[in-house]
Amino acid sequence: MSSESKEGEANKDPRDVVDDSCKGPFLFLAFSAIIWLLVYSIFSMLSGVKVHSYGMMVDTAWLSYGRIQPASQLALQYGFLVQLGLAISAWILSHRGKTVLVDGGYLYFGGLIWNVGVTLGFVGILSGGISGLEGLQMPVHVIPILLTGYVLVGVSLVQTNNRRTDEQMSPAQWFLFTATLWLPWILGSAYLLIYYFKAKGVMANIVDWWFMQNFSKVYLTFIALGVCSHFFSLSNSYRLIGRGYALFAFWILLLFGSIGGVSLAAPVPAWLPALSTVTSVFYFIGIVSIWYVLYHMQNGASAEDNISLMRLGLIVFGVVSILNFLFAFPMMGKSAEFTTFGPSIELLFNLGFVGLVLLASFYYIFPHMVKFGLSPKITKIQNIIFILGFMIASLPSALGGLMSGDAVLGSGFYFSSVGDLFLVFASLLLFLNFLYAIIMSIKTCDCLSQLFSKEQAKEVEA
Amino acid sequence: MTIGLSFIMGLVAASVSYFMLSLWWPVAIILGIAVWLAFGLFGLKMDSAFTLLSGAILVFCISLSVMIMRSSDQLSGLQYADTVDETGTEFRYPVPLLGNAPSGERVYRSHGCAACHTQHVTHEGVEFDIKALASEKNHSAVKEAVNRFYQVTGNPASGGIALGLPVGEWETVALGVSVSDAAKARGFLSSAGASVDVQVRFNGEDLEKDNFSNPDGRGWGKRRSVARDYLFVERPMLGSVRIGPDLSNVGTRLNRSTLMRLLLDPKSIRRNSKMPQHRFLFDVVKESNEKGIITIRNKDEQVFYKPTKEAEALVDYLLSLKSANYPLEEAPVYQPFTSSLPKPEEAKKEMEEKTGDEGSDTK
């Protein structure tokens, strides 16, 4: 290393050094996530078209509704949300811990294996290898691949958190660290219980519901809450309001989010749906508590675009939580049972809360990585289309489900296809915007060149 | 954490230990106090990854134990049950899939049919009707029992029924009462020396239509589905959204040719059907000489479709689905008043008369 570059390294802002260490893995995972978002939106639109257009694409089994729909869900949850969540978790854990990303190579390798798993799962579902379970639709052989990929990524994130230089852990770190641990535990347990111990009959469904509940109420919620908590406190100069309430919310959400998820009419012992109702009530107490903390934190936050998007995400989260709380009771829940209400609200949660919060943080982090931000105009347009997309794809369909009842497809489903079309445009714009920024960064500055230079990479690690 | 919040945490910990983990109550209380002290007095800060990890592992074990282990303990003892079919023949239920049906189940799974169809029937409620028979000896005691029942159930105005209670004839005493009220009525009437007859009615959109008790029934089953229905199914495809009808007992509702047509061209069976065509399960042939060929008129020409092996297997599987039709101990079907049923001899005579009438009509 030359003396000049050594001097430059020493004078570098520590935050830039942390950014440099995260750059490669972050861009790799974010790029994969955005591609999967595009794949999701295209296949989700196709599945809607299959319902409206009688006689379209009916000669090939690959494109039957029963295959496209679960494949699109896999792309959304495992392809987009989990990967972008991992990328952002890596960045936040490094910044919060004031340390460089440890073992970044694991993130590349794990991310690669995770993508292979998601691709195999996606192709497996399209070619008819569906498991028949709602939460774990992918073929059985894909789960160990996903698990391996995630564990490799997780090793890096856990190491990074352990080597933090700032002793105190913030709520953002609690949420992100626990989420990082939680997914492999639940995925591994569900796999072992269903396929290794051969859970028979409805026992397999109970394990599947348990997994779905944990995936959504703990894993995805914790990722999004951790991200919100970090960015609100970041724009408040790391000021935390109500640490006690955050601690209370953390344990309540973890405990009661990990139990339940059994629908009211499920053919299982009656105590299981009753338990699910009880845990929903307690979970809601945790939601109120964390809402209180985040509300006060965002009060002092700036009015930047990404913070505004997070605020919108939190509003969506509040609405979804209230609906989930109300519909957990038999009186309300029965009217929504088996209708399109449930999947629509799930979509609203996935895209309107988790997706939006992750995208908002991506918009903030991306310019720090490549020094050539996304085009502000296109970003604004894509955000508007994205918000319109998930609103139109979910709300009319949810309302239609409540009004029409089950076994009848209300007109809300037609609106949902319009929403899907918006989402295709939004994800396409995001993909092109991202690609353009990367290309321009490579062309105009040397900020990405170190990704390809071994010497520089070694320097950063050192 | 404030003392109030930490107290709530302790309360939650004690409740979870007692109600969910079924721990001995003193242990639950000690655990609750320990949590209260940890968060309130000692100010557990969670600044170490070890604290976080230990807590997360504990919660994960609680979650597994409460939901998975407990249900597994309860469900692992499920066995066959004896039941009767429509003709009164006794058999062991559930019946494993036979012949071509297991391959059909694989086809059903691989095409993701569960994305639109559920396979579990629900009911909304159960109601009981009660009839009583009083003799001259116990007439006044039974009248008193009826009055007492209505007083206890908080509906004394209906006690007027007791005034007109006949002697030696069955009289409806209560209509549409709940399980607990039915048990009370039965207890009062039996202790007064009356003969009691109970009719059990289930209602809910999914169940069979009945103009009196279940006018909105869709006929998807005679009872609700229970865990025993899926005893032999590996990863049951219960489904969660009904874009199409429930298929629990589709084998009793539809025949082979209708199911084939539904797969090939659903709109030819129901005009407003949202089900997509499954043409990939059929081969186009030139002639309609073979058995099972389906003809579809496409504008001016006719197209002949022959079901593939996959389609045949799928239909075999669908025809084997008759799960919510037979009574089980934990899920009985509609039970009418036994006093209203014809006596065996009368029924035999009635049947003979009916057969004779039909025979003469045919002639």
- Beta bridge partners of residue B172, listed in sequence order: B131
Contact B242 A64 (CB under 8 A): no
Q: Please list, residue by residue across B162-186, b when 16 or more beta carbons sit within 10 angstroms of its beta carbon and e when fewer do.
A: beebeeeebbebbeebeeebbebbb
CA-to-CA dists, residue A115 to A355, A433, B48, B287, angstroms:
18, 22, 32, 48
Cα B114 from Cα B238, distance rounded (Å): 7
pLDDT of B200 above 90: no
Pairing of β B282-285 and β B81-84: unpaired
CA-to-CA dists, residue B325 to A60, A201, A406, B238, angstroms:
35, 18, 21, 17
Identify the DSSP state of B126: E
Size of interface A-B (CB pairs under 8 A): 209
Contact B49 A61 (CB under 8 A): no
Contact A181 B53 (CB under 8 A): yes
The answer for B 29-58 residues in CB contact with A (under 8 A) is 39, 44-49, 52-53, 55-56
Chain A residues with CB inside 8 Å of B272's CB?
none
Cα A63 from Cα A49, distance rounded (Å): 11
Least Cα separation, residue A130 to chain B (angstroms): 5
CA-to-CA dists, residue B240 to A266, A310, A336, B222, B236, angstroms:
9, 31, 11, 20, 12
Residue B209 has what pLDDT?
83
Question: How is residue B82 written in tokens?
Answer: 């004896």
Contact A248 B46 (CB under 8 A): no
Chain B residues with CB inside 8 Å of A178's CB?
52, 56
Residue B360 has what pLDDT?
43
Contact B12 A282 (CB under 8 A): yes
Average pLDDT of chain B, as a whole number: 84
pLDDT of A31 above 90: yes
Q: What confidence tens digit (pLDDT) does each residue in B181-196 have?
A: 888 888 888 888 888 8
Chain A residues with CB inside 8 Å of B48's CB?
169
Least Cα separation, residue B339 to chain A (angstroms): 33
| Of the listed ranges A132-136, A142-146, B154-158, the one predicted with least confidence | B154-158
Residue of chain B with shortest Cα separation from A245 = B1
Residue A322 has what pLDDT?
95
Q: Count CB-CB contacts under 10 A for residue A364.
A: 21
Given a contact cutoff of 8 angstroms between Cβ atoms, the answer to whether B189 and B196 are in contact is: yes
Among A36, A113, A47, A48, which Cα is nearest to A76's? A36
pLDDT of B359 above 50: no
Contact B232 A130 (CB under 8 A): no
Contact B277 A282 (CB under 8 A): no
Highest mean pLDDT among A74-78, A133-137, B329-333, B346-350: A74-78
Question: How is residue A75 written in tokens?
Answer: 């792309």
Question: How is residue B192 written in tokens?
Answer: 């007064």
Least Cα separation, residue A381 to chain B (angstroms): 33
Angle at B138 between CA B137 and CA B142, to 5 degrees: 160
Least Cα separation, residue B342 to chain A (angstroms): 35
Question: Which regions of chain B does DSSP assign to beta strands (E)?
Answer: 81-84, 90-93, 125-133, 170-177, 195-203, 282-285, 294-298, 301-307
Q: CATH 1.10.760.10 region(s) of chain B?
A: 101-121+234-324
Contacts 24+ apart (CB under 8 A), A443-451: A444/A372, A445/A371, A445/A372, A447/A369, A447/A370, A447/A371, A447/A372, A448/A23, A448/A370, A450/A20, A450/A23, A451/A23, A451/A24, A451/A27
Q: CATH 3.30.1390.10 region(s) of chain B?
A: 125-203
- Crossing angle between the packed helical segments A271-299 and A305-326, to the nearest 10 degrees: 150
Best of B8, B46, B207, B308 to substitute, by most chain A Cβ atoms within 10 angstroms, is: B46
Given a contact cutoff of 8 angstroms between Cβ atoms, the answer to whether A370 and A362 are in contact is: no
Contact B241 A342 (CB under 8 A): yes
Least Cα separation, residue B149 to chain A (angstroms): 29
Question: How is residue A457 written in tokens?
Answer: 């990479």
Average confidence (pLDDT) over A293-318: 86
- Crossing angle between the packed helical segments B309-319 and B101-110, to the nearest 10 degrees: 100
Residue of chain B with shortest Cα separation from A413 = B243
What's the pLDDT band for A99 if we cut at 50, 70, 90? Answer: confident
Element (DSSP H or E) covering residue A158? helix A142-162
What's the pLDDT band for A275 if we cut at 50, 70, 90? Answer: very high
Average pLDDT of chain A, as a whole number: 88
Chain A residues with CB inside 8 Å of B277's CB?
54-55, 58
Enumerate the domain spans of chain A. Answer: 14-167
Residue B341 has what pLDDT?
54
B101-121+234-324 under CATH 1.10.760.10, yes or no: yes
**DSSP assignment string, A269-306:** -THHHHHHHHHHHHHHHHHHHHHHHHHHHHHTS---HH
What Rg do the C-alpha atoms of chain A give, in angstroms?
22
Average confidence (pLDDT) over A444-457: 57
pLDDT of A321 above 90: yes
Residue A19 has what pLDDT?
82
Contact A65 B234 (CB under 8 A): no
Among A98, A114, A85, A81, which Cα is nearest to A21's? A98
Chain B residues with CB inside 8 Å of A244's CB?
1-2, 5
The torsion angles phi and psi of B288, rounded to 5 degrees, stand at -105, 25
**Domain B125-203, what fold?**
Ribosomal Protein L30; Chain: A, (3.30.1390)
Average confidence (pLDDT) over A319-334: 92
- Crossing angle between the packed helical segments A202-213 and A171-191, to the nearest 10 degrees: 160
Interface check B74 vs A, CB under 8 A: yes
Tokens 């490579």: give the residue.
A442
Name the class of domain A14-167.
Answer: mainly alpha
Among B211, B193, B175, B176, which Cα is nearest to B134's? B193
What Rg do the C-alpha atoms of chain B give, in angstroms?
29
Among A321, A314, A317, A320, which Cα is nearest to A283's? A321
Q: What confidence tens digit (pLDDT) does each residue in B267-293 have?
A: 888 888 888 889 999 998 887 777 888
Residue B15 has what pLDDT?
86
Average confidence (pLDDT) over A279-307: 86
Q: What confidence tens digit (pLDDT) does each residue in B36-68 have?
A: 888 877 767 777 888 889 889 999 999 999 999
Least Cα separation, residue A19 to chain B (angstroms): 23
Q: What confidence tens digit (pLDDT) does each residue in B7-32 have?
A: 888 888 888 888 888 888 888 888 88
Strands of B282-285's sheet in order across: B282-285, B301-307, B294-298
Average confidence (pLDDT) over B348-359: 54
pLDDT of B111 above 90: yes
| B12, B67, B280 member nearest A59 (Cβ) | B280
Q: Please list, residue by residue across A270-295, b when 16 or more beta carbons sit within 10 angstroms of its beta carbon and e when fewer do.
A: eebbebbbbbbebbbbbbebbbbbbe
Residue A130 has what pLDDT?
93
Sequence-ordered list of residues with C-beta below 8 angstroms from that of A328, at least 6 positions apart, any chain: A276, A277, A280, A281
Contact A132 B237 (CB under 8 A): yes
- Residues recorded for chain B: 363
The answer for B 126-185 residues in CB contact with A (under 8 A) is none
Average confidence (pLDDT) over A260-287: 92
Chain B residues with CB inside 8 Å of A69's CB?
112, 115
Higher pLDDT, A54 or A23: A23
Given a contact cutoff of 8 angstroms between Cβ atoms, the answer to whether A69 and A47 are in contact is: yes
Helix, strand or coil, per DSSP, at residue B45:
coil
Cis peptide leading into residue B94 (ω within 30°):
yes
Cα A186 from Cα A216, distance rounded (Å): 11
